[in-house]
Structure 1
């Protein structure tokens, strides 16, 4: 990714968080955190990675609500960030948080399994 695409992605991330948090009033959209925005080198497409608080049903409702608000979000981004052409937006769940939590759980589980073995050796 180019330096310019990186800067546009960071600016979009900041603006996207504000738009989703303050401007969109769709009841389907729950508590959303924009974790990252990847913009292609030609600035034509942007993948917005989100994290949603709630169960799978709430996540799916949020994704549907965001998909339907895509046009509004894109026009807001276009007004806030001066670009020749506003990138097409697609939303994806950020699985890295769940992956990190799973690894953390496994590490704690391994460490708790090792403690009794150390006590038996003494």
Structure 2
């Protein structure tokens, strides 16, 4: 299976959907933050490995604790994934912290601050 094939894209989205439902509903680990989301999942073409990109809303300690909790529950998550998905191989999951949402929020705030400053300067010039 090629890396960018339609089948691989479907497998990626299905694994992402199931991972998010398992993390949201099945994990009882207190280290995993309640605002944890699966941003993307990349399953290798041979279906042996998977990189799950995780976004955690919170400070660095919450992000670190969530990653540790997910890594310790990897066996449970993999078993649940095998139960819900009918795949020949259940991939080994590697959790990677994704900072893109946090980066986007910070950039949006900075843009708002700059445009707010421009609006007040423009209003003064009009008077």
SS of alignment partner, residue 18 of structure 1 = helix
Residue 96 of structure 2 is aligned to residue 92 of structure 1: yes
Deviations 1:12-50 (A, max 9, x none): 111111211222211111111112112222222211111
Number of aligned residues = 122
Residue 116 of structure 2 is aligned to residue 101 of structure 1: no
Q: 1:83 aligns with which of 84, 87, 105?
A: 87
* TM-score, scaled relative to structure 2: 0.87
Residue 20 of structure 2 is aligned to residue 22 of structure 1: no
In the alignment, structure 1 segments of 5+ residues that lack a partner are: none
In the alignment, structure 2 segments of 5+ residues that lack a partner are: none
Tell me the equivalent position of 2:15.
Answer: 12
- Asked if structure 2 preserves the Cα contact closer than 8 Å seen for 1:5 and 1:43, the reply is no
* TM-score, scaled relative to structure 1: 0.90
RMSD of equivalent CA atoms: 1.4
CA distance in 2, matches of 1:116, 1:21: 44
CA distance in 2, matches of 1:75, 1:29: 18
Instruction: Report the CA distance between 1:120 and its aligned residue.
Output: 3.0
